Amino acid sequence: MSQYADKDIATPTRTRQILEKYGFSFKKSLGQNFLIDTNILHNIVSAAELTKAKAAIEVGPGIGALTEQLCRKAGQVVSIEIDQRLLPILEETLAPYDNFRVVHGDVLKLDLHQLIRDQLSHYEKISVVANLPYYVTTPILMKLLEERLPLENIVVMIQKEVADRIAAKPGSKDYGSLSVAAQFYAETEVAMVVPASVFVPKPNVDSAVIKLAVREKPPVEVADQKLFFQVVRASFAQRRKTLINNLVGQLFAKEQKEQVVQLLKRVEIEPERRGETLSIEEFARLSNEIFAAKLLP
């Protein structure tokens, strides 16, 4: 058992002791920033609504600061760590917990459905709870959502700017294709803002904890999901352009412009509006009309 088993990992002193003992140096390429504030960790775990009847998947456990808090609340915790140097550290820091497993690998390459079948099949409710590295935040979140994993919640610490974009509403400066994509799959809210000062090393920007309550089904019905997201991305391609100019520049040929104008009017969307003013319902209506009109090959 660890000699520090009775002390939280997420304190400046204990974190320093662990890093010095193992001679650990941070890899900038892996976006490693470790939390040293237990109150914030408690708030993250609380937002995930964990109980011993539920399980948690963590991405990037680091030296185990958040992991140990998860182990105290959840029935089982599986952490995915890409940095092999951290495996012996986790073995020591989490020795007191028999409900912890670590998987060495890249979350973007792992078969997460298989991981859940192999390690968490006894649990009906599973949450992903993590302090995500900034440089791969969006790919990780979209993988978790698009693969339709059996998740209840995704509660993650990410760059504040990205959290604001995920939770943004139509008409705001932060609203974009990421907002629509995240809200298609989940109900989103920024749970708390976290200052840079509670990390080592200290990042250049503030962070935020975002909670995504995964939907059983999307809030809108779309005839073709791939087309829906194509329309969304095209509509935001150049923010200063009108909807009609973005759609014609990105999806349709110039000679189709008049057809697209008429199509927009049929679904009661003014062609001169900008993409960031459209709600998810309007994007669904628009993409369904495009699908029905067979305007695209």
Annotated binding site for S-adenosyl-L-methionine: 33, 35, 60, 81, 106, 131
Q: Which of 64, 5, 58 is nearest to 36 (CA)?
A: 64
Are 188 and 182 a contacting pair, CB within 8 Å?
Answer: yes
What does the longest C-alpha to C-alpha distance in the chain come to?
73
Question: How is residue 283 written in tokens?
Answer: 């994007």
User: Does a cis peptide bond (omega within 30 degrees of 0) precede residue 201?
Assistant: yes
Annotated binding site: 33, 35, 60, 81, 106, 131
Cα separations (Å) of 234 from 102, 228, 243?
40, 10, 9
137: Cα separation from own chain's centroid: 6
Are 119 and 101 a contacting pair, CB within 8 Å?
Answer: yes
H helix intervals, the chain: 12-22, 38-47, 65-73, 87-93, 112-119, 137-146, 160-167, 177-185, 225-235, 243-250, 257-266, 280-293
- Rounded CA separation 11/41 (Å): 11
- Rounded CA separation 253/247 (Å): 9
**Which residue has 């550290």 as its token pair?**
89
Strand partners, 207: 159, 194
- Rounded CA separation 12/35 (Å): 9
